[in-house]
A and B are shown apart, each in its own frame.
Chain A
Amino acid sequence: AQSVTQLGSHVSVSEGALVLLRCNYSSSVPPYLFWYVQYPNQGLQLLLKYTTGATLVKGINGFEAEFKKSETSFHLTKPSAHMSDAAEYFCAVIPSNTGKLIFGQGTTLQVKP
């Protein structure tokens, strides 16, 4: 069965520092890949997605992610953290032709002043 692993349930960075949130998936066939963000008391908002084409994907709010097939990874990065980035982040995959999202456990990002 497909699975998604997010390394680290909590990540803490200082404002202005690099943000790196890790995501690995298990699949012999590259799935479609997504990152979602959830702010407190809200639903999930799409940050970015990879389906085909360029492996470096840019999303909203300055985030980007790189699909690395050899490493089965789709890590999320942002060069400089802002206080408003504090939220929970979910990596998700859709195995081919299923339409069903499989989520990782989530990573809570804390940004310290």
Chain B
Amino acid sequence: DVKVTQSSRYLVKRTGEKVFLECVQDMDHENMFWYRQDPGLGLRLIYFSYDVKMKEKGDIPEGYSVSREKKERFSLILESASTNQTSMYLCASSSPGDSLSNQPQHFGDGTRLSIL
């Protein structure tokens, strides 16, 4: 089974702090994704990566950055945390498959981040 592991289930940080959320997958997947989940809004894509050292902006990248130095690890960085970044953050990975589109994404259990 694919295993996507997020380093923390719950995290509390203060406004202005630099926050790192870590995600590791064990299936040698090329594609990795970061989402935030908010009630009534579903999941929104923050950043994604199709390869090591490669990153693409998703729909809501403002206030975030990412790092992918190794294939199995994809980090989300909140440069200066703000209260509106309090949310559930979900990491996912997928293999490219025959085409870029048809492979399902496998999700971690999420990190519930509170910014005070």
Contact = CB atoms under 8 A, between A and B. Distances in A.
Interface stretch (B60-68, B70-78, B105-113): B105-113
Interface stretch (A61-69, A76-84, A97-105): A97-105
Interface residues of B, number: 29
Contacts, number: 65
Contacts of B31: 99
A43 B108 CA distance: 5
A28 interface: no
Interface residues of A, number: 26
A40 B4 CA distance: 17
A104 B37 CA distance: 11
A104 B40 CA distance: 9
Given A36-B107, A99-B96, 9 more contacts: A34-B104, A42-B109, A43-B90, A44-B107, A46-B105, A51-B102, A99-B101, A100-B45, A103-B44
Interface of B: 4, 9, 31, 33, 40-45, 48, 50, 58, 90, 92, 94, 96, 99-110
Interface of A: 9, 31-32, 34, 36, 41-46, 49, 51, 90, 94-101, 103-106
